[in-house]
Structure 1
């Protein structure tokens, strides 16, 4: 845990500091604009509460916010995906509400408003989930809301990584806590299987999953044995038949282009064909024994 040396005396002071830090960060890296960076800091204020119990925490950050926490300048996200180990869904909701009410001395307040059962859709169909809403306040001023996709059924095959979020702003006077991140291999496996799955005769429509696979491929070093296990496990959970090659749905293209365009890591992969070729290079060897004992190099873009 990083403690602030001198808290801001007023909510107005906190808000001004966040805006100024967001402007500076956007000037240094225009791929995420000022307003989006402000929203991400609101997310960080919430997540610093969720992860305020440090090593005792059983919470894990998944989804797009988890990708952003590892890799700055990737695609934006509108909500936060959280996984709680060892709890029923209602117990997890109660714990989330408890943590969200923590006072970090930052003049933020997160007020629970509602929750509803979530439908897994193209994500992990075997998970139980709630869609939870909290209103955001800085002092007495409302600043929108944050939506949490809360699940308890997702498993992990690799170790949780604890890290300071890469997308956080330079705000040393605000208390920020390290996040517990869903393993890279499990995130890739989720996206691979979601892409390949059949949904009552329909293919996946989540072209953003290909964006994320490209981002992981060009930024991460990945253990082939671990990724093979993660994909095998995810196939079993989804009750899917094994496949020999990774193939994206034939209708994909426009959505990928739109969502990848603002992402610097996708600059060399502007079309769905180029992206799918890179994804196949990463994934196909893990579907056989070829990647066993090897590591994928995010710099060289090959198995070694």
Structure 2
């Protein structure tokens, strides 16, 4: 994909975390991708199949197999590929592809690095990764989705969230914008989602089921028990779920800090425009006629106040 149309694809899900954090993230069976620019899911699937036909000289080819579309109103589909080496099928690959989703920030660029060191090929491409604030928002919303009234069982998503909190310096305002946008998108698609005002277990089974999922994340230190995870999640997520932006997240301290005052970054075009406006104001001021002075007030004689008498009130 990133050889055929590098500017059109965005890597999401577990493989995006593997690309960011390499061996610290958990393994993922499915590949989650987004086509950036497709009008609909049919166009995205067509582009995916075209990319799968690219010959990279690795003796592998991918045959499209079963295709299933998402049933929750989202523009997405699952495409299965049978992987062949020559005439022999060696594996099966499942790709979850979506379209018509717009992250709030630009994708991040990372060079793909295999988990096993290989001498060939030497020209691994760069991948566009789903922005980390949008990735975080996606996982937080997944925690609190309900399907037919049943709480979420995505235990691994909480482990991924805590791994992100250990690795990333984050802007609270951007995180909140992404979280609210993702929650609104899911609500418009008919998803049963209610974000709480502070972190809480999505369901009663979480304290017992989370530790097993946490063991699948090699880089998640100090959050393998539910007590540890709940404490870390409360410190990280509760301020994000509040009404106002929490500031700036420091991963080394595992704490939010007040955001320093932002300074507007001006591009050369902005500066040129401001200079033109300043020059125009200066020219208009120089060409304007001098203001006419006010006519001096006419002097008034001093009149003493009327004397006070028996039938008169004292003068004011």
Q: Which interval holds the TM-score relative to the shorter structure?
A: 0.7 to 0.9
2:242 aligned residue: 288
Alignment partner of 1:146 is 2:93: yes
1:113, 1:134 within 8 Å by CA — same for their partners in 2?
A: yes
Larger Rg: 2
1:298 aligned residue: 251
What is the 5 A alignment of 1:14-25?
none
1:126, 1:153 within 8 Å by CA — same for their partners in 2?
A: no
Alignment partner of 1:78 is 2:29: yes
Structure with the greater relative contact order (CA < 8 A, sep ≥ 6): 1 or 2?
1
1:243 aligned residue: 196
1:100 aligned residue: 52
Post-superposition CA distance 1:87-140 (Å, at most 9, x none): 111111111111111111222211212212234xxxxx5522211111112344
Question: Aligned to 2:62, what secondary structure does the other structure show?
Answer: strand
What is the 5 A alignment of 1:36-115?
50-53=1-4, 57-72=7-22, 73-87=24-38, 88-115=40-67
Question: Aligned to 1:253, what secondary structure does the other structure show?
Answer: helix
2:144, 2:195 within 8 Å by CA — same for their partners in 1?
A: no
Post-superposition CA distance 1:230-268 (Å, at most 9, x none): 111112112245531121222113332112114232231
Post-superposition CA distance 1:62-99 (Å, at most 9, x none): 11111111112322211101111221111111111111
Structure 1 runs of 4+ with >4 Å offset: none
Q: Distance in 2 between matches of 1:303 and 1:64?
A: 26
Q: What residue ranges of structure 2 are gaps of 5+ in the alignment?
A: 188-192, 258-316
Q: Distance in 1 between matches of 2:244 and 2:89?
A: 54
Structure 1 residue 229 displacement after superposition: 0.4
2:309 aligned residue: none
Q: Distance in 2 between matches of 1:266 and 1:168?
A: 18
**Structure 1 length-normalised TM:** 0.75
Q: Distance in 2 between matches of 1:105 and 1:166?
A: 18
1:221, 1:297 within 8 Å by CA — same for their partners in 2?
A: yes
2:144, 2:194 within 8 Å by CA — same for their partners in 1?
A: no
Cα RMSD over matched residues? Answer: 2.0
1:171 to 89, 112, 118: 118
Alignment partner of 1:204 is 2:181: no
1:208, 1:255 within 8 Å by CA — same for their partners in 2?
A: no
Q: What residue ranges of structure 1 are gaps of 5+ in the alignment?
A: 1-49, 120-124
Q: Distance in 2 between matches of 1:167 and 1:190?
A: 25
Q: Distance in 1 between matches of 2:32 and 2:100?
A: 13
Q: Distance in 1 between matches of 2:51 and 2:219?
A: 34
